[in-house]
Amino acid sequence: MALRPIITAPDSRLKVISTPVERVDDDLRALMDDMLETMYAAPGIGLAAIQVGVPKRVIVMDLAPEGELPEPRYFVNPVIEWTSEDLARYEEGCLSVPEFYEDVERPARCHVRYLGYDGTEQLLEAEGLLATCLQHEMDHLEGVLFIDHLSRLKRDMILRKLKKSKRHDATAEA
Ligand code: GNR
Ligand code: NI
């Protein structure tokens, strides 16, 4: 297992549409293991493969409260089959948009079909934070970030600040 660097916005790689996985094999499981380790270390509650530069339709997640037993979840080739009419608002963050948190409204519930860690087909009926996090991660697979759901004014302000902190980081390294 290994930690992989997380890409932060603005970065064109985060806008790539990820491609479906052909089969769930040991190489893919090694990627999912790395992603989970990277997510725990960050720390975060979800991670899409594109955030570590791999444009495959793979997501890992763990919503267990800190200090309790881990509940790792793996989603390969997830498809949202149904979303509720009713919406829920959550304050979202993103490991690729560090230190910014904003309310986003999304369908409160969704049904998702996907392949699990062992490659078998699964169907999940999600609500609450699980539904929100799944939709946040599925957005990553389409090259979309939570800030794309905000007004252009807010999004551009966040991107400008992220760009600036990247410049400062580079200067500090030199
Ligand atoms: O760690 C994360 N927290 C979070 C909080 C509210 C809604 C979505 C998320 S996902 C985020 C990790 C991440 O960037 N996943 O792509
Ligand atoms: Ni994210």
Q: Which ligand is nearest to the CA of 46?
A: 1
Dist. CA 170 → ligand 2 center (Å) = 23
The pLDDT of residue 66 is 84
**CA–CA dist 95, 113 (Å, integer):** 25
Q: Which of 78, 71, 10, 77 is nearest to 40 (CA)?
A: 71
Report pTM.
Answer: 0.97
Quote the strand ranges of 49-143, DSSP E. 58-61, 73-83, 87-92, 102-107, 109-115, 121-127
Per-residue confidence in pLDDT tens, the chain, 174 aa? 899 999 999 999 999 999 999 999 999 999 999 999 999 999 999 999 999 999 999 999 999 998 899 999 999 999 999 999 999 999 999 999 999 999 999 999 999 999 999 999 999 999 999 999 999 999 999 999 999 999 999 999 999 999 999 998 887 776
The Cα 139–Cα 142 span in angstroms is 5
Probe residue for ligand 1, chosen from 35, 60, 95, 135 as the CB with the greatest number of ligand atoms within 8 Å:
95
Alpha carbon distance 68, 112 (integer Å): 25
Q: Work out whether strand 73-83 and strand 121-127 pair parallel, antiparallel, or are unpaired.
A: unpaired
Give the residue extent of every domain in the chain.
Answer: 12-173
| Sign of the CA dihedral running 31, 110, 130, 113 | negative
What CATH topology corresponds to 12-173? Peptide Deformylase (3.90.45)
